[in-house]
Every structure is written in structure tokens, then in C-alpha cells.
Structure 1
Amino acid sequence: MRRVLTAVTLTVAVAACSSQQSPQQQATLPSPTGSGGIAWGPCTDVTRPGGQTPGQQQSTMQCGKLAVPLDYTKPDGDKIEMAVIKIPATGPGKRIGSLVFNFGGPGASGVDTMAQAAKAFTHLNTQYDLVSFDPRGVQRSAGVRCGSSADMDRWVSMDTLPNNEEMRAKSQASNKEFAQLCERDSGKVLPYVGTVNAARDMDRLRAAVGDEKLNYFGMSYGTQLGAVYATQYPKLVGQMVLDAPLDPSVNFEQRNLAQTAGFQQAYESFLKSCVKDGCAFGKTVHEADANVNKLMNDLVTQPIKVGTRELTQGLASTAVPAGLYSQLSWPFLEQALSQALRGEGEGLMYLADSYTGRQQDGTYSTEMTSFPAITCVDSAERPSEETLRKSEAASLKISPLFGSEGAGGLCRVWPVPGSDQARHVDATGSGPIVVVGGTGDPATPYQWAPKLTAQLKTGTLVTYKGEGHGAYLSGDKCIQQVVDSYLLQGTVPKQGVTCGSK
């Protein structure tokens, strides 16, 4: 399973100080009561930031489960339980309702991420209950699993160099094995994990929390989920913010090329910033880049021992983009690369683990398994080998460091068919939807923001001139004011508002 650039957001960009709980620790959410109801109770299995004593928001967190149909064509048939989390509004001021979050992926746990990042939404929490959930196929909500922890270790550590036919053959064999294990371990849920069904689940959640309309904050992949919801239920859209938007209409090759260019742009900005401030691994951009490429090539034959594990080229090539998701993590990435060039791999290993969802006990969250399951169900595309090689060659021209065949290689051998329904959005009939795009976003390049805005028909574009994946959590006061005014007072920003200074 070769590394692909995903659209994961908070779990990499903001919550770097957090870790996720093991599956064994994720078994004690309360059961729902009544049809469509949620029995709220204490959150007994969520990760708190840094293991610190819970603050007010953490101490008031409530968790529960919501039963939803496995197959919406058989609403009275088999059910799955969707894990949800709520942080009640704190006041002062009148409670508006619930604000539902999806933090990205596809595959990020909304329950864990909300518990870790709630403090970032304190101002919104005065008038909204903050609500999130593990979408179907993720973690506690019938999470997709594919093999053992040892299998996951083997897959995520696979090298991507050298880029030759032998390596491609290994990658293809790995993809087939991975897909077969996903079918074996998660077969029942695999056909039903897509975004269209997740949007239907979200409408069940809206009704269960007692809101007439859905107030929603989607980030990264969460923007596609929000757009699909607005397409299916335009009259039920309340206030909706889509930050770091995807363009759902792009095919695998287009997405791969755009993300490769986005990460290469962020990498170059990182190197320039690093050199300007006295880079620890190169005095010039050329020297720093050459040292990074030398490290990657050296790791193919000489992995770095990190405890009982090895930092491989494959893990290092995952760690670097993980460190580029937020400008706040650039100093740590600089330190990690500098250490690795001295033969110390702990920093890059930490970044790779944060990206792949590997926990300290060696188990994995479902992030790396939910991602392909949802991605492949969300597209009918099954690219040919010729198309994959063309995409790979084009992306490698853009960036030898980040280029790959993209998600199409795994979807080509995925055990269930996909549908293009989630790729077509049109929210005609909804109220204004605020779309926020960042000019320096590596994972969801800026050009996708105006495209999604146009497809929605009811979107209003806000531009953030700055680095990082996601604008609201960048700390930019202008963006936060625009978004907060819309969500709290209903003030729709003027079309074309720009914040930041890049």
C-alpha cells in the first residue's frame, strides 16, 4: 500500500500533542434509548490533550450512540451504531442549537478530535453545543479494519523508492493483499461507508439533537460531506461553513496532481522560511533540499533504528508531508529532519505515527483503513494500469518527493464498487454557505475553493492568504471574526472577502 496524500486535517495539523486510544479502550459508550434517540453519558474512552487534567470543556463532555440503518434502502433492516460527542453550550447568551463538526479525512474520528481540540472553538461554544461523531466506517462507528497491527506496520513502512518496476510490482501486490484483508475483516460495512450515507446519518443526528436545521462546520473532507448534505437536504441547511474545501468533481489523477503540487509548494515555503531563520539542515534552499533527498535515498538501504522499530524511507516520506499541514509544525519538522540526518529518527517517526494513527501501544486507529474505504466507495472510477502510470509520472515531474500514483491504485482493486453520486453537488434552495479557502493549503489547494463555491450555487467564497491546511484554526483573527459573525449572528460575508497577508 503506497503512501497517498490524504486530506486529513485536525489530527495532523492541530492535535500534534495528542494521541489516540487503542481499540481495546473504545468500548464503553452508552447505548441509545428509543428510536433515533441518544442516551448521553460520560465520555469514558476519549483522548484528552497531553494527558492533562480535563478543563471545563472536557469535564462537561457527553458521549453516546445513535442507531442508523446500515443500508438506507432497507431502513428497518440491520443497524450500526454511530458514536457521537457533545460539549454543551456554556453561555452567556441564548443557545442557538448544536454545531456539528466533521474534521476531515475521510476517516478522522470526530469524537477523539473534538475532545482534543474543543478549546479552539470556545467562542462558538458559548451559544452552540459542539457536536461531532465518528462517521460510519470510522473508529467506534463500525470502523473499517484491515489485518493486524503487524500488517499495518508493514504496509505503512513500505518504501516508495526506488521508483522502478520491481517496486511497482510490490506495491500492486500489497494493494491486493490490503484490499482482501479489508473485505475479510470489514466486509459487511464496506459497501455502505460512503459520503452519501454519511450525510443521511448526519440528518438523523440533526433530528436526534432536536434541531430543525443543521448548523455545520466541515473541514477538509468535511467540506465534501457538508456539500453532499446540502445537495440532499437544501431546505434543512442552517449555518454552514466549509473550510479547506475539496472539489468533489475531480478524478483521482486530477486530485493527485493538485495535491502533489500543493505539498511541493508548502515544502518550498517551509525550506525558504527555514533558511531565512537559520536552517539546521542547510544554509541555502538548494542545500537543505539536497540533504532531505539524500536522507530519503539513504534510508532505503540504511533505515534508522528507533527503539525496537526502524524509520524507513516509506515512513520518512509520510512524516514530511505530515509536518507541512500547519505552519505551527514547521519548527518541529526542521528539528526532526536535522536529527534524522544525524542518525536520530524519533522526530520523523512521531510525525509518521501521528499521520497514520499509530498509537504508543502499537495499535492503529482506523484512519488509514477508513480513508480508502470511503474514498473508493465515493467514486465509480477504477483506473487502468496505464492511467496510474501516467498519473504517477506526471506527479513525479511536479515533485520527486511527493509524487505517487495516488489513491487510484488501491481503488483499482477495491472489493466493492463505487458510485459518483458524492461527486456531484448542487445546494440550490439552501441558505448562504460560507466556503473558506487558503492560498497556501497543501492538502486542498486553493483552486478547489472557488470551484466548490460555484458548484454549490449558494456558496460565498472567503479567501485566506496564508500557509497551512485549514484557515479557521490558523489563528488568523480576520478569518475567525468572519466565521464567528456568520455562525453566531448570521452575518453573511460579502463575496470575495480576503484575510491574511501572504
Structure 2
Amino acid sequence: MARLIRWTAGVVAAALLVTGCGGGSPGHGAGGPDEGDDGSRSGRSAQRTRTPSVAPPGLPASLTSQKPDWGRCEAGADGEAPGRKWQCATLKVPLDWSKPGGETIGLALIRARARGEDRIGSLLFNFGGPGGSGLSTMPSYATTADRLRERYDLVSWDPRGVGASEGVRCRGDEEIQAAESVDATPDTPAEERRFAKDAADFGRGCQKAAGKLMAHVSTTDTARDMDLMRHVLGDAELHYFGISYGTELGGVYAHLFPKNVGRMILDAVADPTADTIGHAENQTRGFQRALDDYLESTGQDPRRGTRRIADLLRRIDGEPLPTSTPGRKLTQTLALIGIILPLYGEESRPLLTSALKAAERGDGSQLLALADGYNERDASGRYGTGSHAQRVISCLDDRQRPTLEEAKRLLPRFEKISPVFGAYLGWDTAGWCRDWPVPGQYETPEVSAPGAPPVLVVGNTGDPATPYEGARRMADELGEDVGVMLTWRGHGHVAYGKGSDCVDTAVNAYLLNGTLPKNGKVCS
């Protein structure tokens, strides 16, 4: 099973490239009239006086006085050297933030130094997940963020439990592939038992792999890591760009450290008021909207097209499709994931059309390739661990643990929203953290940030993974005079760097010059 809520934009973009979906490189906005070198500003200004960095209180000097030993990175996202401009280092942080003088773990950092002389500081990126690797994604995102490098060091990291930062692997590759035969929308008592057993087995595998780290990978833990990172990087304020789940992380940081917030962008915003069931319902609605839009864009009636796809999935549930990969068939669950992946961006719609036509002819190869891209499976059969880290972090965060019976009661509501995605996301609420060995921390994250400077919240009306309504709720929850709303009437996951000069200019103006757009500004 692969939970869909709060997934990383970087992984999705990379997956589409791997599966052969072309399209131009993401752009970056040119400077606009709000970005004059004379410092003139429109809208609300967030210019603040720079002050020396203050260390987080209560930490030993061995942590607060760290000086990262930046050296050339050994490898990038795809195993290739990421280029000479990229440097890597390790930051030591407490394993348990309630015992700051105790055992430490290492967090892997990556950066590219600012080009210009008028440097503001570091700009920290989190690309989502949870479970997304900053070390893997930052170099591939550099073209999109290139304008920002004029005044910032571009910095990212693998959060605790992810990748090179004590990354958790809950299952081996053969076990993961074997679990693909588990029906994520069980139709019989036997399928329900297998679904429940697989979910519980995964949790036990995570506990065995993570050990005592299992209870210390929460979003709150990572937010505290970020504040130490801010200080060690020499910044009085945390300048931050959060994408997808990274928006939740940014909101939690702003709540914990409102006085340390600098210029903060939250793009593709997770709804901070939604619990486990609420997130699943939001995404059911968001992906159905994206599917409707895709069908309309290809000249199809959305209702008829949805019904046809739902019928195809039912047929695959009864008899999985053959593929060109020896020993593997396209199951209903893999087909669903293969349909979902290209809905993240308009540029991948032709790939979805081709894959659906092939499946209707009885060939599941293209949908399987898309599902493999989402699941980080390479040609050799090795799987990435992003979904493993996503699960240990999410299940430590989320207190709500629906039972199988509760999930069943949700199904009519979810299937009414989407005959294609409803059952999958409804059942997922019960499977994701089933019999999890550590309790969750909260129903919903606390992101209120009284006293923080303005935070620019960017919402995309056509975002399938983090529907637009979540951006408005984040702006409201941050608080009056903190959340500043910018709307893009676009499609796909994430707004910045996706072709809107209006969005890119507004984000660049704030990050580079402290110039905020008018609250409620809409970009078409």
C-alpha cells in the first residue's frame, strides 16, 4: 500500500521522468515591477532588521557550536555526482529532544552557495512526503529555484528517519513486491484479513528497523531540528520554502518558534484542520476533480469517463492484466496508483491516455510502469524507502487510528465522491497505521503562530494531492496578519515554477526583497 496524502512533488516529478513522460523543464519567474533594486515595495512589507543568531535554549555547546564540515557531495538523486556547486555536511541533533544532552543522530545536509554579494542567508527547502529526500531532490529542483540563489544559499536535508539521516527500511525488495498482490480494496473476509495482516506486518518491520528512533521521527521533532539547523547555519531567522507535507512542517515550526520565522513560503498546502479521515476525504475529492478535468481536456464526458475507468478497475480486480515484465501482473491496486501519478501534472496527461488505452486492450504494462515510478521501483527491482519513512513519520504524528469496521462505514461516502478513488482511500485510513507500535501525537497539527511575521500561503485551485481548500484553512489557522493568501487558478501539484509568471514573481518578490502581494491576490 502506498499512502497518497502528503506526497512529495520532487519524487512525483522524478517518477514521471523515469516512466518516460516528457515536457519542458520547470521554469522560474523573472523579476517583476515589485522587485526593484531601489527597494520599493507594494502591498504589505515584511522587511526586518537582521540580528545575530540566537541558539535554541537548553542545548549543550557541543550541538550549538557545531560548524558543518562542508565538502563535495558524493552522489546526487540518481547516483550521479550532483555537480561542483553542491556541498554536503552532517548536523548532529538530539535523538530525543526531551533529553537534549543525550544520544545524538546525524542529519545529512546539502547546499549550493549564494551567487550574489547581497546575501540574505540560507533558504531551507522541504519538498514533502513526509519521507521526501532533500539530498535527492534539491539538485533536480535547482533550475526552478535558480533566481533565489542570487541572495540565498539553497539548503535542504534528509529529515530524521529519511534517506541518509538514519533512513528506515521496513521491508526488503522481495517482500515489497510480494505485498503488491494484497488487495487494497478488499471485497471478501479473506481479503480483509490479508489486508489487515499485511499492514500490521509492515509496522512490525518498521519497529525492528527503526528501534528507538521509531518514537522520535515526528514532525515536531523535525521542526526542532530545523531551529538548531537555522542557528548552526548562522541565521537569526529561518527562511523557508515548504512544499506539500513541507507546508505542515513549516506551520508547526511557525507555531513553535514564531519569533524565529523569517521569509516563509508554503506551496501546495496540506490542510492543517484535517485528521486522518479528513485528509483521505480531501484527496478523494482532489483526485476526482483532477480526473474530471483530464477527461474534459480530452473531449470526454467526466461522468461517462469516470464510469468507464471504474469498470476497467473492477475487471482488473477480477483478473489482473498481463504485462511485459516477466512474473508481474497489473493488479487493481497498482492500476489505481498508475492512474493517480500522472494526475499530478498536466504535462503527463498524454501518458495517462496511452496507458488507459493499452489497459483497455488488455495490456497493463504502461500503468504498471507508472505505478513503479510512484513506488520508486527501478528496473532492477529495487524499491526506494520514501514510503517507509513516510509511514513511520505519519503514524507517529497521527493519533486517529480507524478500524476496519470504521473504514467500511466510510466507503459509501467516499465512493459517492469518487467511484474511482473512493474505496482505495477509504480503506487506506484503516490500513496505514494498523496495530502501530507507538501512539500518535495529535489529531491535527497546531500551526497557529501569533507574533510571527507574514507567511505567504500559495494555493492552486486544481491541486489534486493537497486541494485548494487546505491553503485557505492554513492561512486562517496561522492567524490574522500572519497568513497571506495567494491563489493560482492552475492545475497539478505545486504552483511555483509551473509556468505562472504571476505566482513566480510574487514568491520571488517576497523572498528576495521582502515584498508581499496583497492578501487574497489571484493569479490566472
Query: Normalization by structure 1: what TM-score?
Result: 0.89
Matching residue within 90, 103, 107 for 1:65: 90
Q: Could you tell me whether the CA contact under 8 Å between 1:101 and 1:130 is conserved in 2? A: yes
Residues 104-136 of structure 1 show CA distances to partners (whole Å, capped at 9, x for unaligned) of 111111110112221111111121111111111
How many angstroms apart in 2 are the aligned matches of 1:378 and 1:128?
31
Amino acid at match of 1:416: V
Residue 180 of structure 1 pairs with residue 204 of structure 2:
yes
Number of the residue aligned with 2:289: 265
Residues 160-180 of structure 1 show CA distances to partners (whole Å, capped at 9, x for unaligned) of 355343322221111111111
Residue 495 of structure 1 pairs with residue 519 of structure 2:
yes
How far did 1:447 drift? 1.0
Could you say if the C-alpha distance between residues 408 and 240 of structure 1 is closer, same or farther in structure 2, counting changes exceeding 3 Å?
farther
Q: Could you tell me whether the CA contact under 8 Å between 1:392 and 1:406 is conserved in 2? A: no
Residue 40 of structure 1 pairs with residue 98 of structure 2:
no
Residue 332 of structure 1 pairs with residue 331 of structure 2:
no
How many angstroms apart in 2 are the aligned matches of 1:89 and 1:4?
36
Q: Could you tell me whether the CA contact under 8 Å between 2:322 and 2:365 is conserved in 1? A: no
1:81-480 correspondence to structure 2 within 5 Å? 81-91=106-116, 94-161=118-185, 163-275=187-299, 285=302, 288-300=305-317, 301-308=319-326, 309-403=328-422, 404-420=426-442, 423-457=445-479, 458-480=482-504
Could you say if the C-alpha distance between residues 356 and 157 of structure 1 is closer, same or farther in structure 2, counting changes exceeding 3 Å?
farther
Q: Could you tell me whether the CA contact under 8 Å between 1:3 and 1:156 is conserved in 2? A: no
How far did 1:496 drift? 0.4
How far did 1:444 drift? 0.9
Number of the residue aligned with 1:483: 507
What RMSD, in angstroms, separates the aligned Cα atoms of the two structures?
2.3
How many angstroms apart in 2 are the aligned matches of 1:96 and 1:436?
22
Residues 424-469 of structure 1 show CA distances to partners (whole Å, capped at 9, x for unaligned) of 1211111100001111111111111111111111110111111111
How many angstroms apart in 1 are the aligned matches of 2:12 and 2:432?
25
Residues 54-76 of structure 1 show CA distances to partners (whole Å, capped at 9, x for unaligned) of 6xxx3311112111111011112
How far did 1:13 drift? 4.1
How many angstroms apart in 2 are the aligned matches of 1:408 and 1:37?
44
Could you say if the C-alpha distance between residues 344 and 383 of structure 1 is closer, same or farther in structure 2, counting changes exceeding 3 Å?
closer
Q: Could you tell me whether the CA contact under 8 Å between 2:496 and 2:504 is conserved in 1? A: yes
Amino acid at match of 1:324: L
How far did 1:286 drift? 5.3
Could you say if the C-alpha distance between residues 13 and 476 of structure 1 is closer, same or farther in structure 2, counting changes exceeding 3 Å?
farther
Number of the residue aligned with 2:14: 15
Q: Could you tell me whether the CA contact under 8 Å between 1:195 and 1:422 is conserved in 2? A: no
How many angstroms apart in 1 are the aligned matches of 2:181 and 2:236?
47
How many angstroms apart in 2 are the aligned matches of 1:393 and 1:290?
16
How far did 1:19 drift? 5.9
Gaps of 5+ in 2: 20-61
Number of the residue aligned with 2:58: none
Q: Could you tell me whether the CA contact under 8 Å between 1:90 and 1:127 is conserved in 2? A: yes
How many angstroms apart in 1 are the aligned matches of 2:78 and 2:438?
36
How many angstroms apart in 1 are the aligned matches of 2:102 and 2:324?
48
How many angstroms apart in 2 are the aligned matches of 1:286 and 1:453?
33
How many angstroms apart in 1 are the aligned matches of 2:431 and 2:272?
19
Q: Could you tell me whether the CA contact under 8 Å between 2:307 and 2:419 is conserved in 1? A: no
Amino acid at match of 1:424: E
Number of the residue aligned with 2:46: none
How many angstroms apart in 2 are the aligned matches of 1:170 and 1:202?
40
How many angstroms apart in 2 are the aligned matches of 1:361 and 1:208?
40
Amino acid at match of 1:122: D
Instruction: Identify which range, 176-185 or 153-162, moves more after superposition.
Output: 153-162
Q: Could you tell me whether the CA contact under 8 Å between 2:93 and 2:107 is conserved in 1? A: yes
Q: Could you tell me whether the CA contact under 8 Å between 1:137 and 1:189 is conserved in 2? A: yes
Could you say if the C-alpha distance between residues 33 and 223 of structure 1 is closer, same or farther in structure 2, counting changes exceeding 3 Å?
closer
Q: Secondary structure at the match of 2:323?
A: strand
Number of the residue aligned with 1:27: none
How many angstroms apart in 1 are the aligned matches of 2:3 and 2:429?
6
Residues 246-299 of structure 1 show CA distances to partners (whole Å, capped at 9, x for unaligned) of 122311111111110110110111111122xxxxxxx65555444433432333
Instruction: Identify which range, 291-300 or 109-118, moves more after superposition.
Output: 291-300
Amino acid at match of 1:361: S
How many angstroms apart in 1 are the aligned matches of 2:114 and 2:180?
40
How many angstroms apart in 2 are the aligned matches of 1:426 and 1:72?
21
Instruction: Identify which range, 101-110 or 158-167, moves more after superposition.
Output: 158-167
Q: Could you tell me whether the CA contact under 8 Å between 2:183 and 2:195 is conserved in 1? A: no
Residues 172-196 of structure 1 show CA distances to partners (whole Å, capped at 9, x for unaligned) of 1111111111111222211111100
Q: Secondary structure at the match of 1:80?
A: strand
Amino acid at match of 1:293: A
Query: Percent sequence identity over matched residues?
Result: 40
Number of the residue aligned with 2:42: none
Q: Secondary structure at the match of 2:409?
A: helix
Residues 11-41 of structure 1 show CA distances to partners (whole Å, capped at 9, x for unaligned) of 3443345569xxxxxxxxxxx9995332111
Instruction: Identify which range, 455-464 or 159-168, moves more after superposition.
Output: 159-168
Query: Normalization by structure 2: what TM-score?
Result: 0.85
Q: Could you tell me whether the CA contact under 8 Å between 1:179 and 1:413 is conserved in 2? A: yes
Gaps of 5+ in 1: 21-31, 276-282
How far did 1:90 drift? 2.2
Residues 199-246 of structure 1 show CA distances to partners (whole Å, capped at 9, x for unaligned) of 011112111211111000001100010011111111110000001111
Number of the residue aligned with 1:25: none
Could you say if the C-alpha distance between residues 174 and 496 of structure 1 is closer, same or farther in structure 2, counting changes exceeding 3 Å?
same
Could you say if the C-alpha distance between residues 117 and 246 of structure 1 is closer, same or farther in structure 2, counting changes exceeding 3 Å?
same
Residue 80 of structure 1 pairs with residue 105 of structure 2:
yes
Number of the residue aligned with 1:28: none
How far did 1:303 drift? 2.6
Answer 1 or 2: higher relative contact order, Cα 8 Å, separation at least 6.
2
